[in-house]
A = this chain, B = another copy of it.
């Protein structure tokens, strides 16, 4: 109940601070006999790791995951899988100036107030470094879902005010190729170039900017999601909102849907055709009706606020409540969304894996 676990049946618990010994995750509830591909886990971590390009933080971490338990002769055994990622490049000195001062729009003030103590180095537990553990766990979830044919794809659909057009390609493999061919991770190459130029300018300004990640889940069977509180989109929403810097979530028609009329918004059912089951003509429902997946593509968006650490002077207060001034040091992202793509996919995989098992239990 202290909040460091997520999921019911496919359940993860993460631990670790930004500049401590290590971060890591325990997965309790991964079914047995899933082949574990350590290289795949690493490739997922590499998409999130710092130091990838000029538009991400220059902090260097190899982010190498070690498997401590739960895997035997290359397969899961049904027992807890412990994944450990040692911390390497912890220039804690960069954070000495934070010891007694609260950075604006960071969690320094709230952690100090709540706990009466905090590991101030690099944000400690509140650092987005924690999400590396999620990505490692999400990779295991993906390996599980792959067996079921479920595919998850996220990309940067907005950086600041630059929006990508809707994706028209249906092949996840192809989409990943396009996305990974540009450093901002947008599936539309033309928009990607615009975004990169924009973010680089923001970086040069010593400033930061927000953005959005859009996600699609393909081949999810009908029936995942539990009424009435654990609706599939409610759990997806919680998962996404638990990611650092996320300020908004919507699915299907989303916020735009609230301006539509029912006659336009309703997704008319279409009889089965060939090997396809019942489908809908449109998909404003985003693949979820009454909180339960209906077999159509699940679609959602995640809105990220701008990174709080900026390279200019800001007013703030110190631990005693006195006025103070602070300026960002260290190495930070001008925009988190390129690295957040892997986190969004990981959390989506964890939610779907969890609801898969929950649905299985009652079949």
Contact = CB atoms under 8 A, between A and B. Distances in A.
A75 interface: yes
B69 A17 contact: yes
Say how many copies of this protein the assembly contains. 4
Nearest to A209: B261
Interface stretch (A27-35, A40-48, A53-61, A147-155): A27-35
Interface in A145-176: 158, 160-161
A20 interface: yes
Contact of A110 (B117, B233, B289): B289
Interface in A296-352: 303-310, 312, 314-317, 321-323
Interface in A1-43: 1-6, 8-9, 11, 13-17, 20-24, 26, 28-29, 31-33
Contact of A250 (B239, B248, B280): B248
Given A33-B115, A117-B75, A258-B305, A15 B292 contact: no
Contact of A267 (B105, B125, B241): B105
Contact of A82 (B11, B15, B69, B361): B15
Contact of A3 (B118, B223, B227): B227
A87 to B, nearest CB: 10
Give the bracket for the number of chain A residues in contact with chain B. Answer: 35 or more
B260 A228 contact: no
Contacts of A113: 222-223, 292, 294
B29 A211 contact: no
B8 A117 contact: no
Nearest to A221: B113
A110 to B, nearest CB: 4
A102 B290 CA distance: 12
A316 B266 CA distance: 11
Nearest to A235: B238
A138 interface: no
Contacts of A274: none
Contacts of A266: 104-105, 308, 310, 314
A77 interface: yes
A24 B25 CA distance: 12
A15 B4 contact: no
A246 to B, nearest CB: 8
The interface centre, meaning the residue of A8, A158, A261, A267 with most chain B CB atoms within 10 A of its CB, is A261
Shortest 7 CB-CB contacts between residues of A and residues of B: A107-B290, A3-B226, A248-B250, A3-B230, A208-B262, A110-B292, A361-B361
